[in-house]
Amino acid sequence: MTEELKKTNQKLVELFAKKNTLATDSEEFKQCFDFIIYEIAVNAKFVMIVQYNKDDFISDGKGAMTALKESPITFGTLSPVNSDEDYLALYTSYETLLADYKKSPEQLQTFINSFDDIYNILFKLAGVNLAGIVINPHTDSFVLNKNIIQTIKERKEIETRGHTQFTVPKNTNLIIEEPNPYPQLAVNKLCEYASTKKEIKAIWVKKMLNTNKDNEESTLFIVHADENIETIFPEMSEILREYIDGFIDLISYEQAMQFATGTAFYQRD
């Protein structure tokens, strides 16, 4: 299990080491940082300290655990430098973890989790109120807050599904503008597609800036459809990813009537 985890995370460990040799304002640093984010989201797995009732879980023998019933779990956390909030502590290897805790593996309870598992802990697990994650706290001390983790999750969905299905959370500040430049090729292709789908009544395109995420920009498509929206969105995304760079957000008309201003670029007669 230890060697398998080290092999899985070898690329990430190498990238951490490289990052530490680069000037933070260099283009190479930015590229290295992007590679690190990709490894975290797609390939890496992390070991974490937990406390739980062993009788309530079953192990797959590789560090992953499945709950047999609802059971409380306490996660190992700490506060990074210059922060008074708690972050989930993650480690790329057992050696790195044990160097911090100064105990034998038999004395510790641990889980091994992927990025998607960690996302669910932070955003979906009841009773968890953490500010983000810190990887290898006392060596690399790589900190990601929840806003960044949410962005990584969306980026991963775009890579794997072609889009992220967008909903408007409470207390989110959005700026909706007309796109400039106008994505005419994408619009033309979507009009061709929509003409074959009687469910689609209208489509609008906007530029969206999320001020909660440092004005992160995406191209927003608002789709008015009678039914089959879960089928329509993936099909639309396959078309759009060929013509639009960057983030693509798809949202139903019912969720975003207030943004559907002006004339729809597609409207069924």
- Using one digit for the tens of pLDDT, what is the confidence trace for 99-132? 887 766 667 788 899 999 999 999 888 778 899 9
pLDDT given at position 178: 92
Place of tokens 């079953």: 58
The predicted model scores a pTM of: 0.61
pLDDT given at position 36: 93
Q: Is the model's pLDDT at 46 over the cut of 90?
A: yes
The confidence band for 187, taking pLDDT boundaries of 50, 70 and 90, is: very high
The average pLDDT across 249-264 equals 89
Lowest mean pLDDT among 2-11, 153-162, 181-190: 153-162
98-to-11, 16, 110, 136, 247 alpha-carbon distances in Å: 21, 19, 11, 11, 39
Pairing label, strands 77-78, 200-210:
unpaired
Q: Is the model's pLDDT at 73 over the cut of 90?
A: no
pLDDT given at position 57: 66
User: Which residue from 22, 21, 89, 20 is spatially nearest to 50, judged by alpha carbons?
Assistant: 89
pLDDT given at position 109: 83
pLDDT given at position 145: 92
pLDDT given at position 75: 86
pLDDT given at position 214: 67
pLDDT given at position 163: 52
pLDDT given at position 124: 84
pLDDT given at position 23: 94
Handedness of CA 256, 260, 265, 269 (dihedral sign): positive
pLDDT given at position 136: 95
- Please tell us whether the domain made up of 162-267 is placed in CATH 1.20.5: no
The average pLDDT across 26-49 equals 91
Q: Is the model's pLDDT at 133 over the cut of 90?
A: yes
* 226 DSSP assignment: S
What mean pLDDT, rounded, does the chain reach?
85
Domain map (residue ranges) of the chain: 2-156, 162-267
